[in-house]
Structure 1
Amino acid sequence: MLNRIDLRAGGVAALAERDLRTLLPRAALDVSTAVEQIRPIVTAVRDHGAAAVREATARLDGVELTELRVPASAISDAVAALDPQLRAALVESIGRARLAHAAQLPAAATTTVAPGATVTQTWRPVTRVGLYAPGGANTLPSSVVMNVVPALVAGVSSIALASPPQRGTGLPDQTILAACGLLEVDEVYAVGGAQAVAMFAYGIPGECPPVDVVTGPGSVYTNAAKRLVRGVVGVDAEAGPSEVAILADETADPAHVAADLISQAEHGELSASVLITPAESLAGQVDQELARRVPASKHQQRITAALTGQQSGVVLVDDLADGLRVADAYAAEHLEIQTRDARQLADRVRHAGAIFVGPHAPVSLGDYCAGSNHVLPTDGCARHAGGLSVQTFLRAVQVVEYDQPALREVAAQVVRFAEAEDLPAHGQAISARFES
């Protein structure tokens, strides 16, 4: 079922990393094109506020909104109606995420650079954030957990969340509302896609104050909107169609590998499932497992489309060292390692959103209850960006304290720098403090 790319016989070593990247499976996504498609929406929301949000929602979601903000009663009703088993799962997910994210809080660090001279690195939370939870083919209450928990742990004082309205109710999905209720988030908007990102970035007078940071996964259009407002607000890494790369050798269980490939393909037709292996026999066994499992899957059509698309496939390599090089070039959102000495290999990975080590840490665990965050960079962005974390909502602030003797000690050096850069007033700001 999976397409094959054969890089054996020294193929990996012979390729520069740029050339290697072009050979690996990727979806034909063009965020730049999507930027131009949604630019009018973002501009309209910036210029016309709520009216533009309602127009885009009616046109794209088929929902006529009277109020953008969800009533508090709808959130409490969703919590009351929540299935007890799902509630227990959400509570467990929230608890584990709180533990893991609390460990990410950085401590302030003070350095004495000279007697009487200190620089303290502190961390301050942003004031207000706008979080996005998708609500298209699948509604994802887990994304509410993954967005809200690190913001809460970071100490953000104002949290707003948006998710698309559902036809018939005009409200976001009930499980998303329930997750918001469990996390005590009461500022929720029935707005989706590019218009939600624009609403958060520019604000709606009298309805939604602008935010400092926008985060959350979404479609190519949501990511395109983030590109447009970057700089107006901070944004997280682009998190588009889901992807997994599995680095596996002959010790891997083909049933596990096939099940994990299918689980990512289930997200949608553009989802990517990639197996990297030196074991051609494993690739054949995985194909057999896929042929058995896919027809029995609930979402057979989208899974088949994803697995047979150009973004999915098997990459055959000579050995695990070459497999690591391929994995780093691919820079997967999720990287599973199912090999001998899996942890040692994991420690050598440079580029991945999250790494899942061994046969008992599948990606779907990370989607819900591992404690890690599932909002991760896709489409190779893990080469330069990390996943959502407490640090996403913190800003480094340096506090500089010098007494007079400490300033006097370095004054001449500062003046010399200022003169060298032809900025004499900089030096005079120092010397003025020592004029009699």
Structure 2
Amino acid sequence: MTKLKMRFFKYVSLSVLSTLSLSFYILVDTYFISVAEGSNGIAALNISLPVYGILYGIGHMIGVGFSTRFKIRYDDYEEKCRIFSKGLFFAILISLLFMIMGIFFSHNIVYTLGARGDVLRLSNIYLKTILSFAPAFILDCLLMSFIRNDRNPSIVTAAVVSSSIFNCICDYIFMFPMKMGIFGAAFATALAPIVGIIVSSSHFFLKKNSFKLVQTRVRLREFFHLSSLGISSLVTNISTSVVLIVFNFIILKYVGDIGVAAYGIIANMADVTFSIFSGVGNGVQPLISENYGKNKFKEMIYVLKMAIVVSLIMATVIYALLYFNAVSLTGVFNSSGEEKLLFYGVQGIRVYFLAIPFIAINIVTALSMQAMEKPRLSFIISILRGIVVLIPSAIIFSNAFKIMGLWGSYVFTEFVVSAISMIFMLKYVRVK
């Protein structure tokens, strides 16, 4: 088990670094947009994020789903090359649909999501730019998933860190010296995955590379089979987008644009925080799939337990840091010193993030289940979190307690679903 533990910490640490770096894309945008455009800019970004989340969800569904099948069939060279080639085909096809949608319908989308006035103008610019580069985002997700499963997590981390650094530098250059405004922020973010693709592609020139692009027949029904193990990743991202949409509309009802801006700050912090647990789940996925494929269930369960314990320890530390630094963290994005923005931001951080330990359990459990070819259980966890429990809770709690009830509904949802997640996990462990 000592060797397995070392692999666990190597894969998880590199994966967490990757997902954290990826989450900084939007966090950096939020900071620079808050300085350049104020609270309207943050609100515009928050309006656009649900569609951005769905885009990434599709990318992760294809990447995680196809690459998990790839890992399970790792010893069959021809089959795993065919799986990669089919994944690449579907990734390009679907990303082109997103690109067309962004070019022609971005205005309609952000209007439907509640944007009006100056917020509508800013969110339209941001979303149109991001979706125009949809192929880069989805292909980046695909390559990272396959290369991580090809036993090279280091290069994936290098790719993500490189693209994040590029994004930070170009965000500043485009928005301030070049005075490109919110378009500059979106353009820098859109170019970043191209840097990631270039770095990741170096894997194909290494001796440890074990797959390549091959000519193969593609059938539509294969897409649903091969991507099914990534459905939780899609539903998780869609759930996050649904949370954003529902919360935005409720906040607009009770507080207005300043409330949406405060939630934009919280949502971006949440994205960074929760990416840590996605990193744990993605990091253990190759280890779980590998041991599952070889029927080494004792080792697989050991990895599962390690993932849960490590996630809960990190969740406790993170909440303490957020609680005691809520004022300063909100202040970073409140350059204009708006009192209401500070009030709602601090209040939201301290209540909303009480959900962290429950989120840790839910994310790790859902990703682990899909790694073990249990997409239905993974789907149930994800759909409960984002729609079935959350929406009724948000409506009921906010009607009773306004915005405080809204923050509390999120904690309640994650708590209920975490209890169900643990039942799934304990039941599966007993069976094995």
* TM-score bracket for this pair, using the shorter chain length: under 0.3
- TM-score normalised according to structure 1 size: 0.23
- TM-score normalised according to structure 2 size: 0.23
More helix by share: 2
More strand by share: 1
